[in-house]
């Protein structure tokens, strides 16, 4: 029985050595064939493709409007900086704006258009505002003040992103 086991083990070892030699021969053949390829072809095979230049395309700005404001756009120009422009049909060409975070008014101001109602006057102004809380959402509100009591009329809320 011991002799049979020894013969079986020798057969396995002999077969395994033959497979190892065949594997080594195959690797040598592949390496030789790779060396035989013309250098200019090797260069194209070995090089990674160069990344294509990606052109940054600006998406058109979203426009906002209501009864008194139209074609209003807000462009973020920096960290907490925005440029607002559009047209307004406002009595005496003056309207107000306020930036709030849902709880507090952070900034406010007034803007003049280049024409008063009934004409549509153009306007453009910049805002520099910082969030009081990191997770808050800023909202710009454009409005006309009532001549009667100063209350806000024709409000146009715009989320600042």
Query: pLDDT, tens digit, for every residue of 122-141?
Result: 999 999 999 988 889 999 99
Given a cut of 80, whether residue 35 has pLDDT beyond it is no
Cα–Cα distance measured from residue 47 to residue 40, given in angstroms and rounded to the nearest whole number: 11
pTM above 0.85, yes or no: no
pLDDT, position 6: 79
Mean pLDDT for the chain overall: 82
Let me know if 95 is exposed, middle or buried by CB neighbors in 10 A (0-12, 13-18, 19+): buried
Other CB atoms closer than 10 Å to residue 143's CB: what's the count?
20
Query: What number is the average pLDDT over the span 28-55?
Result: 57
Architecture of domain 69-160: Sandwich (2.60)
Percent of the chain with pLDDT over 90: 54
């Amino acid at each position: 029985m011991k002799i049979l086991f020894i013969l079986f083990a020798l057969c396995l070892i002999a077969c395994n050595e033959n497979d190892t030699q065949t594997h080594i021969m195959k690797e040598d053949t592949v390496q030789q064939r790779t060396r035989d390829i013309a250098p200019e072809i090797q260069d194209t095979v070995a090089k990674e493709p160069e990344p294509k230049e990606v052109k940054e395309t600006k998406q058109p700005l979203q426009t906002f409007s209501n009864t008194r404001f139209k074609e209003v756009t807000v462009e973020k120009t920096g960290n907490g900086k925005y440029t607002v422009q559009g047209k307004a049909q406002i009595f005496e060409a003056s309207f107000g704006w306020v930036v709030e975070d849902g709880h507090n008014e952070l900034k406010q101001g007034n803007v003049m258009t280049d024409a008063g109602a009934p004409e549509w006057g153009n306007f453009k102004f910049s805002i520099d505002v910082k969030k009081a809380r990191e997770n808050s959402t800023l909202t710009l509100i454009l409005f006309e003040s009532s001549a009667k009591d100063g209350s806000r009329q024709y409000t146009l809320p715009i989320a600042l992103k």
